[in-house]
Structure 1
Amino acid sequence: MVLGKAANMSLMDISKIFSLLQPKEDEENESQQLNQAVSNNDDKLLSELLVQDQYRRCINSRSGWGIPGTPLRMAAALGHLRCLEVLLAHGAEVDSLDVKAQTPLFTAVSAKHLDCVVVLLKAGADPNGSQYNNCSPVLTAAREGDVDILQELLDHGAEVDVRPKVPEWASNATACRGPLYITAVYGHLKCFKLFLLHGANPNFNCTDEKMLGRIKQPKTVLDICLHYGCGVEYIQLLIDFGADVYLPTLVTDKTTQHNEAVQLLLKKRVCPKTLMSQTRLAIRKYLPVANKMSCIDQLDIPHVLKNYLKHIT
Structure 2
Amino acid sequence: MKVVLLQSAKMNLMDITKIFSLLQPEKEEEDTNTGEKQALNQAVYDNDSHTLDQLLRQERYKRFINSRSGWGVPGTPLRLAASYGHLSCVQVLLAHGADVDSLDVKAQTPLFTAVSHGHLDCVRVLLEAGACPGGSIYNNCSPVLTAARDGAIAILQELLGHGAEPNVKAKLPVWASNIASCSGPLYLAAVYGHLDCFRLLLLYGADPDYNCTDKGLLARVPRPRTLLDICFHHNCAPEYIQLLIDFGANVYLPSLPPDQTSHDDKGVTLLIQARATPRSLLSQARLVIRRALRQTCQPQAIDQLEIPPVLISYLKHQT
**TM-score where L is the length of structure 1:** 0.93
Is 2:118 the partner of 1:104?
A: no
Superposition deviation, residue 253 in structure 1:
4.9
Secondary structure of 1:34 counterpart: helix
After superposition, give the CA deviation of every residue in 1:229-283 in whole Å (9 maximum; x if it has no partner).
0011000000000001111102345872311110110011111111111110010
Which residue of structure 1 lines up, in the alignment, with residue 26 of structure 2? 21
Q: 1:70–1:7: structure 2 CA closer, same or farther, 3 Å change rule?
A: farther
Whole-Å separation in 2 of the counterparts to 1:292 and 1:27: 51
Q: Identify the range of structure 1 (9-18 vs 229-238) with the bigger mean alpha-carbon deviation.
A: 9-18
Secondary structure of 1:118 counterpart: helix
Is 2:85 the partner of 1:79?
A: yes
Contact 1:180 1:200 in 2 (8 A): yes
Which residue of structure 2 lines up, in the alignment, with residue 161 of structure 1? 167
Contact 1:196 1:202 in 2 (8 A): yes
Whole-Å separation in 2 of the counterparts to 1:140 and 1:178: 10
Which residue of structure 2 lines up, in the alignment, with residue 231 of structure 1? 237
Which residue of structure 2 lines up, in the alignment, with residue 292 of structure 1? 299
Contact 2:107 2:136 in 1 (8 A): yes
Superposition deviation, residue 170 in structure 1:
2.7
Is 2:174 the partner of 1:151?
A: no
After superposition, give the CA deviation of every residue in 1:3-60 in whole Å (9 maximum; x if it has no partner).
xxx9974345523542333734435211110010000000000010111111111110
Which residue of structure 1 lines up, in the alignment, with residue 194 of structure 2? 188
Q: 1:274–1:137: structure 2 CA closer, same or farther, 3 Å change rule?
A: same
Identical counterparts, % of pairs: 59
Q: Identify the range of structure 1 (71-80 vs 253-262) with the bigger mean alpha-carbon deviation.
A: 253-262
Q: What amino acid does structure 1 have at the position aligned with 2:262? A: T
Q: 1:266–1:91: structure 2 CA closer, same or farther, 3 Å change rule?
A: same
Which residue of structure 1 lines up, in the alignment, with residue 15 of structure 2? 10
RMSD: 1.9
Whole-Å separation in 1 of the counterparts to 2:33 and 2:312: 56
Whole-Å separation in 2 of the counterparts to 1:84 and 1:230: 39
Q: 1:193–1:8: structure 2 CA closer, same or farther, 3 Å change rule?
A: farther
Would you say how many aligned residue pairs link Structure 1 and Structure 2? 307
Which residue of structure 2 lines up, in the alignment, with residue 207 of structure 1? 213
Which residue of structure 1 lines up, in the alignment, with residue 267 of structure 2? 261
Contact 2:170 2:180 in 1 (8 A): no
Superposed counterparts of 1:43-62, under 5 Å: 43-62=49-68
Which residue of structure 1 lines up, in the alignment, with residue 39 of structure 2? 33
* Structure 2 alignment gaps of length 5 or more: 1-10
After superposition, give the CA deviation of every residue in 1:183-211 in whole Å (9 maximum; x if it has no partner).
10110000000000001000012221111
Whole-Å separation in 1 of the counterparts to 2:14 and 2:146: 23
Contact 2:115 2:123 in 1 (8 A): yes
**TM-score where L is the length of structure 2:** 0.91
Contact 1:156 1:291 in 2 (8 A): no
